[in-house]
Protein backbone atom coordinates (compact mmCIF):
# COMPACT_ATOMS: atom_id res chain seq x y z
CA UNK A 1 0.00 0.00 0.00
CA UNK A 2 1.44 3.36 -1.02
CA UNK A 3 1.83 5.91 1.76
CA UNK A 4 2.36 9.61 1.38
CA UNK A 5 4.55 12.11 3.18
CA UNK A 6 4.12 13.69 6.59
CA UNK A 7 2.52 17.14 6.61
CA UNK A 8 5.71 18.63 8.08
CA UNK A 9 7.73 17.32 5.15
CA UNK A 10 5.24 18.63 2.59
CA UNK A 11 5.22 22.01 4.35
CA UNK A 12 9.01 22.15 4.15
CA UNK A 13 8.96 22.28 0.34
CA UNK A 14 9.24 25.84 -0.98
CA UNK A 15 6.17 27.91 -1.82
CA UNK A 16 6.24 30.80 -4.24
CA UNK A 17 3.93 32.92 -6.34
CA UNK A 18 3.54 32.03 -9.99
CA UNK A 19 4.99 35.44 -10.88
CA UNK A 20 8.15 34.50 -8.93
CA UNK A 21 8.32 31.04 -10.51
CA UNK A 22 8.20 32.60 -14.00
CA UNK A 23 11.17 34.78 -13.11
CA UNK A 24 13.15 31.83 -11.71
CA UNK A 25 12.36 29.23 -14.36
CA UNK A 26 11.67 31.41 -17.41
CA UNK A 27 10.16 29.60 -20.38
CA UNK A 28 10.53 26.20 -18.71
CA UNK A 29 7.68 26.90 -16.25
CA UNK A 30 4.33 25.24 -16.94
CA UNK A 31 1.40 27.52 -17.63
CA UNK A 32 -1.15 25.34 -15.85
CA UNK A 33 -1.38 22.99 -12.88
CA UNK A 34 -1.16 19.42 -14.12
CA UNK A 35 -3.38 18.25 -11.26
CA UNK A 36 -6.43 20.54 -11.67
CA UNK A 37 -5.55 21.72 -15.23
CA UNK A 38 -6.36 25.35 -14.38
CA UNK A 39 -4.14 28.02 -15.90
CA UNK A 40 -1.88 29.77 -13.41
CA UNK A 41 -2.28 33.46 -12.69
CA UNK A 42 0.51 35.60 -11.25
CA UNK A 43 -0.97 35.57 -7.71
CA UNK A 44 -1.36 31.77 -7.46
CA UNK A 45 0.64 30.15 -4.64
CA UNK A 46 2.65 27.21 -5.94
CA UNK A 47 4.73 24.55 -4.27
CA UNK A 48 8.01 23.50 -5.89
CA UNK A 49 9.10 19.91 -5.41
CA UNK A 50 12.75 19.15 -4.63
CA UNK A 51 15.05 17.70 -7.28
CA UNK A 52 12.61 17.78 -10.23
CA UNK A 53 11.47 21.38 -9.50
CA UNK A 54 7.97 20.76 -10.85
CA UNK A 55 5.40 23.23 -9.52
CA UNK A 56 1.72 22.86 -8.67
CA UNK A 57 -0.98 24.80 -6.84
CA UNK A 58 -0.39 24.31 -3.11
CA UNK A 59 -4.06 23.33 -2.68
CA UNK A 60 -3.68 20.64 -5.35
CA UNK A 61 -0.29 19.09 -4.62
CA UNK A 62 -0.43 19.01 -0.82
CA UNK A 63 -3.27 16.44 -0.72
CA UNK A 64 -1.53 14.46 -3.47
CA UNK A 65 1.72 14.30 -1.50
CA UNK A 66 -0.12 13.20 1.66
CA UNK A 67 -1.33 10.16 -0.33
CA UNK A 68 1.56 9.60 -2.79
CA UNK A 69 5.29 10.02 -2.06
CA UNK A 70 6.13 11.03 -5.64
CA UNK A 71 5.87 13.90 -8.12
CA UNK A 72 2.55 13.82 -10.01
CA UNK A 73 4.33 14.54 -13.31
CA UNK A 74 7.62 12.61 -13.37
CA UNK A 75 6.80 10.23 -10.50
CA UNK A 76 10.23 10.87 -8.96
CA UNK A 77 10.17 9.49 -5.45
CA UNK A 78 10.33 12.01 -2.63
CA UNK A 79 11.22 9.33 -0.10
CA UNK A 80 14.82 9.20 1.13
CA UNK A 81 17.19 6.70 -0.40
CA UNK A 82 19.10 4.40 1.97
CA UNK A 83 22.24 6.51 1.42
CA UNK A 84 20.38 9.72 2.23
CA UNK A 85 18.96 8.53 5.56
CA UNK A 86 20.37 10.78 8.24
CA UNK A 87 21.09 13.59 5.76
CA UNK A 88 17.52 14.47 4.82
CA UNK A 89 14.36 15.04 6.86
CA UNK A 90 12.11 13.13 4.41
CA UNK A 91 10.20 10.24 5.89
CA UNK A 92 7.11 8.25 5.00
CA UNK A 93 3.92 8.99 6.88
CA UNK A 94 3.40 6.72 9.88
CA UNK A 95 -0.37 7.20 10.46
For the chain, the structural domain boundaries read: 7-67
In tens, the pLDDT along 11-55 reads 999 999 999 988 887 778 889 999 999 999 999 999 999 989 999
Q: Are 60 and 36 in contact (CB under 8 A)?
A: yes
CATH number of the domain located at residue range(s) 7-67 in this protein? 3.30.40.10
Name the pTM for this structure. 0.78
d(CA 5, CA 67): 7
How far is residue 54's CA from residue 48's CA, in Å, rounded to a whole number?
6
Query: What tens digit of pLDDT does each residue of 53-64 get?
Result: 999 999 999 999
Amino acid sequence: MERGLDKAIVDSYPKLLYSQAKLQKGDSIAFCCSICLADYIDTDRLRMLPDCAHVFHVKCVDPWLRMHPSCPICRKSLLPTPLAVGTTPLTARQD
